[in-house]
Each structure stands twice: as C-alpha cells, then as structure tokens.
Amino acid sequence: MSHISSARILHICKVYLPVRGGIQKVVHAITSLSKQHTHYVITSGEDGAILEQRLNGTYITRSRSYLEVASMPIAPRMIGKIIKMAKKCHIICVHYPFPLADLALAMVIRLPPMVVYWHSNIVAQKKLKWLTYPLIYLTLKRATAIVVTSERMIENSKLLMRFRSKVRIIPYGLPTVRETPAITTAYTNSNYFVLVGRHVSYKGIDIAIRALQEIDTHLVIVGNGPLFEQHKLLSQTLGVCDKVSFEQNASDDEVKSLIQGSIALVMPSIMHNEAFGLVQLEAMRLRKPVINTSLASSVPMIARHQKEALTVEPNDPDALAQAMIQIATDKAWAATLGNNGYHRFKQNFTDIKFKLALDSLFEELLAR
C-alpha cells in the first residue's frame, strides 16, 4: 500500500463522547486508528455541554440541541457549521442515521469525496419518511462510498440495494485484550448473566426482565437511559427484584470485568436499528458466549447461532429464558461457544483489520 498523505477528515454524527453508545465508539475508533489524518467531529450537545473541545487530537464542535424530534436532535447552528467545514475538508464521513446532516449537505454545491457510514437502517424517522427520504437519497447518490458491516445490511435495505455498487463491507474492530482488569465487584464469585446497553425501547431490556420470571438466575443490567426507572419499576411489578441488579454508571474497565465474570452476555434487542452490537465483540474477545436475537441486521452474523451464540426470536421472553437455561446448565457447551467466539474475534474483528480497511478506503478517496 502506498503512503497515505495527511488529510482533513470531517465526521458528522448525532452525538459523540462522552455520551456512550456504539456509534460514538466507532467514530472514536476511526479517529484513533487513523492518526495520520486530522479529524474534525461536528455533533450536537445538550444544554451546558462543552461546545469546542480537542479530545485525543480530534477537534470536536458541538451545536446546542434544543429538543429531539423522532430521536433527531434539533440543533440549527449545526447546519451552518457543517456547510462551512465541508468546504475545508478533504473527506466527509456522515454517520447515519442523522437527517439533519442530509439537510446541511444538500446546501453544499460541491462536496469532497464523501463516505456514508450506514450504522443502522432508519427506524425512528419512518413517520417522517416523506420529508427525510429525498434528502437521504440525495446524500447516497452523491456519496463516493457507503460502508456497512455485513451483506445482511444491504439485503434488508431497499435504499442500499439501489446503490449496491458503492457499498463496502467493513466490520468494526476492537483491540485485543492483553490483560483483563482485576476489579472486584458485588458480583465477584457469583453466577450471573450480564446485559450492557442504554435503557431505550429497542434494546429489549424489558424482555430480559420478563424472562427472569421463568428461571432461577441473576441478571446484571449495565447502562443508563430514559427508560431506566421504568425498567426498575417493571422488575418490582413482576416480582423479580432479587434476580436483577442495575449498574448505571460503570466505567469501561468495570464493564469488561462484569462481562469477564459473567456466565454469558445477553443482548435481547427487538428492532433492527440494533445494527451490529459492538458489545458482542467485547464478550467474544473475553471468551464469553452470547445470546442475541434474529434481527434483520448484522447482529446475528457477528455471533452466530450454535457457533458463538444462541440466537432467539426477538420479543420472546420464553425463548430467551430457555437459552439462558441451556448455557447456564451446560458449561462445556458454553465454553465451546466462548472459545469459538474468541477465535472468530481474532480472525475477523480486531482493530488491526479495521485500521487496514480504513486506510485502504481513505487512500482511495484521497486519490480522487
């Protein structure tokens, strides 16, 4: 591969660190792995957020969001900032779904090479399809490349099928774990499953809580979000308080430690805007089996049924409970799934493989 000259790369995303989430982690991974370039992130921020910041060499500009409509922040000043920066950068990376970015880019006559990272099929904005679809179509038409994480993402999107020739499959990657943090938690030396995710509807956390009615095991739910109190109340209503623990503010090292000490990772997501499930890689690199759901996304393609995971139908507490029982009672089978997951992670989902794919893509775009 030839030498990649330094470039200014603009990333446009709905939210960014320190807000936690899969897309934020991927954007951070891209900026961290491609340090030969200068990265700029334009994103939204809540009232009181730091509006200008440099984090690990990345320049971050936040525009204040005044409210959300269909999960989209309304940050009017962001439009002008995107237009201004789009004219100064060599490459634009748009991290979907984010219709506000489409609106801003539609106002720029000449764009540099543009990559659309199709992190998720658009679900929340379906009711506004008549408004968002033309802008999304325009962005995809003007894009030089569209990045997805598996062939399944293309097959389940009519829009992506129309632009199939532009689509590149680049799975995400994580660093290999040299040493798992030895963090003592309240769950040390106890048997439990772990669920890591924001308390939002598509994560299916309520399904996992309902599954506990059927089995005698413990579930640790790690994360925060708007439905946190609702899920706590559900556990009380169903009488499973003694079977579930809620960890709102665990650090990254604590999350790794909780996964390492668990029987398995449970990921009961119910909608295909759960497009990849980066936490699956967290479990696989720690040799932990996964229980996921058969979504029309990359999720069941990462940890595969009866190879690295048990895959159940979404919205089915009984099926989820049975999968948890199977893994908890058959420890040899669980260990096999975990070891398979580790080898699959090492072969396909390391940060080194992710970086090589990114370097190749950026080199191609800069050559244009």
**pLDDT digits (tens), the chain, 368 positions:** 444 568 999 999 988 887 777 888 899 999 999 889 999 999 988 766 668 888 888 999 998 887 776 667 778 889 999 999 999 999 999 998 888 899 999 999 999 999 999 987 665 445 556 567 888 999 999 999 999 999 988 988 888 999 999 999 999 999 987 655 555 566 665 789 999 999 999 999 999 999 999 899 999 999 998 999 999 999 999 999 999 999 998 888 899 999 999 999 999 999 888 889 899 999 999 999 999 999 989 999 999 999 999 999 999 999 999 999 999 999 999 999 999 999 999 999 999 999 999 999 999 999 87
Determine the pLDDT at residue 2: 45
Amino acid 264: pLDDT: 97
**Architecture of the 8-173+350-367 domain:** 3-Layer(aba) Sandwich (3.40)
Q: Quick check: do 8-173+350-367 and 193-348 share a fold?
A: yes
CATH architecture of 193-348: 3-Layer(aba) Sandwich (3.40)
The pTM is what? Answer: 0.86
**Dihedral sign of CA atoms 271, 272, 278, 280 in order:** positive
For the chain, give every domain's residue range.
8-173+350-367, 193-348
pLDDT, position 53: 85
